[in-house]
Amino acid sequence: MSRTERLAPWLFTVAFFVVWEIGVRVLDIGTYILPPPSLVFEQSWVFRQALFRNSMQTLYTTLAGFGIAVVFGLALGIFIGWSKTIYNGLYPVMIGFNSVPKVAVVPVLVLWFGIGTVPAILTAFLISFFPIVVNVATGLATLEPELEDVLRALGAKKMDIMLKVGIPRSLPYFFGSLKVAITLAFVGSVVSETVAANSGVGHLMLIAQANSEVPLVFGGLLCLAVLGIVMYAVFALLEQRFTGWAFRGQDRRAA
Amino acid sequence: MSRFVELDDVDLMYGGPDGTLALRGASLGVAQGEFLAVVGPSGCGKSSLMKLVTGLHPPSRGSVRVAGNQVDGPVKIAGMAFQNPIMLPWRTTIDNILLPLEIVQPHRRHFRARRKENEAAAEALLATVGLGGFGRKYPWQLSGGMQQRASLCRALIHQPELLMLDEPFAALDAFTREELWSVLQDLWLEKRFTVILVTHDLREAVYLADRVLVMSSRPGRIVAERRIELERPRSLARTFDPDFVAIVHELRDHISAVRQGEVS
């Protein structure tokens, strides 16, 4: 990547805030509708402790829900991908499950577990395990039949084929899905915090809005954006590290 | 000569009692160390033959025997190669070739302990197909022809008594294909395993095989048999000699007849 290419995301981010600042000032938009970024940053600094504490709470519920989603999603994905019959039988059920908006499930979770951390974790889990399941199952189900023949003719059991070929082969799908899943988990926990919690960035934004602290509401949004980018980046990096072979680019070829 | 592979009046049907009949009344024998080629139009059940002999699919009727035993499950003594080399991209070429040893007994038991010897064997095999020194490369760093050579090595690493080839050279360019014919002939002359080669390419069949079977289209039946008594090793120049060309034409006539029957 060239220097300009590397710098481009930063330049665009800065440009975004500059345009926002100028736009708000030129169009004379009230701070209670859209505060300029300078004010958002200032207020965020004033409330840095509250923002930090609640961000950590959100991060915690997100990662906890995501962690459960990874374990459960991987297990269910392998189970579904194991045979065509299971795949065909369970896939429609999964689709049905996934089509239910997870916000609608939050009241049920609150009913069962009360307001607080648990519904946030569970919402994050429920919303994020689906892409993991689908990707792992698809990775396993799209195994080349010839390769399966080669191994079966040698007396390989289903387990051998899975361990030697199926699971390594579906790893790029798995890591790819983690990037999507972590972002979704984040959505889940913030939604749940906004509806039913007494801590977390979602909750903080709700309180700030009730108190007409509009710059702080946007401060919360910025925190969410930063957390989201960091988590995405971490998992994109993990993906590169573990399944670099699936991204066989020109530079590796030359190496 | 004892028959190493024997099919006796075999039917093969896919998809239950109302399914399609892929093979009808197929009977054939392959002697130990013989090189048999099977040719025919598309959809003549050549691939079904592969599945039957390797024990991946049971016959609907008749019996299949390999190495004197009734086949009732994977035969475990066969190496296979297909049109698509299907190398695993996360393994080096060497590790791809060693894959069968991680599966098949008795190699599986000693796989870790004999890692060094196994790797040496794989390297030696790579050298014989003209890929010496490429073992540490990943398959995606190799060309299609090189991958197919590696795929042959994978089929042979466990020293199978039976090599099953399903159009292994069909996806290669003409020059590479003919080069690999020679590679395969050399390997076979050296090790004398039994080969069943399924192919569309009549020149390939005549160049490589001791005997060529012609199959009809679905349901597949064996309609002609031709022994190829050209001296070995055969050179590529030989494929342009009149007697060679005559055999190719003779086989072509059989195929045309089969295809005619299909149209009418």
What is the tens place of the pLDDT at every residue in B122-159? 999 899 888 888 989 999 899 988 999 999 999 999 88
pLDDT digit string, tens, across residues B216-236: 877 788 888 999 999 989 999
The conformation of residue B140, written as its DSSP 8-state character, comes to G
CB A186 within 8 A of CB A124: yes
Helix axes B93-103, B144-156, angle to 10 degrees: 30
**Is residue A13 domain-resident?**
no
Asked if B103 and A248 come within 8 Å (Cβ–Cβ), the reply is no
Contact A149 B54 (CB under 8 A): yes
What is the predicted pLDDT for the residue at B263?
55
* Domain assignment present for A95: yes
Chain segment B119-129, per-residue pLDDT in tens: 998 999 899 88
**Residue B103 to residue A156, Cβ atoms within 8 A:** yes
Poorest-pLDDT segment among A56-65, A149-158, A206-215: A149-158
> What's the gap in Å between the CA of B246 and the closest CA on chain A?
35
The residues with which B214 forms a beta bridge, in sequence order, are B39, B224
Cβ pair B76:A164 closer than 8 A: no
Are A231 and A183 spatial neighbours (Cβ–Cβ below 8 Å)? yes
Range of the domain at A230: 61-242
Domain layout of chain B by residue ranges: 3-77+161-263, 86-160
pLDDT at A248 (0 to 100):
64
Q: At what angle do helices B174-191 and B115-128 cross, to 10 degrees?
A: 120
Name every chain A residue with its beta carbon within 8 A of the beta carbon of B150. none
Domain with residues B3-77+161-263, CATH architecture: 3-Layer(aba) Sandwich (3.40)
> At A75, which CATH number?
1.10.3720.10
User: Chain A partners of B161 at a C-beta cutoff of 8 Å?
Assistant: none
Query: Which residue of A150, A158, A165 is the best one to mutate when testing the B interface, meaning the one whose CB has the most B CBs within 10 A?
Result: A150
CB atoms within 10 A of CB A28: 6
Q: Has residue A31 been placed in a domain?
A: no
Name every chain A residue with its beta carbon within 8 A of the beta carbon of B74.
Answer: 152-156
Instruction: Let me know if residue A161 belongs to a domain.
Output: yes
Beta bridge partners, B64, equal B7
Q: How many residues does chain A have?
A: 255
With contacts defined as CB-CB under 8 Å, which chain A residues touch B82?
A: 146, 150
Q: Determine the straight-line distance between the first and last CA of chain A, rounded to whole angstroms.
A: 16
The count of domains in chain A is 1
Does residue A105 sit within a domain? yes
Q: Say if residues B91 and B46 touch (Cβ distance below 8 Å).
A: no
- What is the rounded (10 degree) CA torsion for B191, B208, B68, B76? 70
Share of chain A above pLDDT 90, in %: 47
Q: Do A144 and B103 touch (CB under 8 A)?
A: no
B80 and A246 in contact by Cβ < 8 A? no
Are A246 and B89 an interchain contact pair (Cβ–Cβ within 8 Å)? yes
**Shortest CA distance from A252: residue in chain B:** B141
In-domain check, residue A197: yes
Q: What is the mean pLDDT of residues A51-68?
A: 94
Nearest residue on chain B to A172, alpha-carbon basis: B90
Q: Is pLDDT larger for residue A159 or for residue B45?
A: A159
Task: Give, in degrees to the nearest 5, the angle at Cα B199 between B197 and B202.
Answer: 110
- CB atoms < 10 A from the CB of B184, how many? 24
Task: Measure in Å the smallest separation between the Cα of A147 and chain B Cα atoms.
Answer: 7
Q: In terms of DSSP bridges, do strands B35-39 and B194-199 run parallel, antiparallel, or are they unpaired? A: parallel
Give the residue from chain B lying closest to A250, CA to CA.
B141
Q: At B109, phi and psi to the nearest 5? A: -60, -35
User: Considering only CA atoms, which of B189, B186, B184, B188 is closest in space to residue B199?
Assistant: B184
Instruction: Count Cβ–Cβ pairs < 8 Å, chain A vs chain B.
Output: 70
Q: What is the predicted ipTM?
A: 0.76
pLDDT for res A251: 45
Residues pairing with B196 in the sheet:
B36, B164
What average pLDDT score do residues A144-163 get? 85
Query: Is residue A5 situated within a structural domain?
Result: no
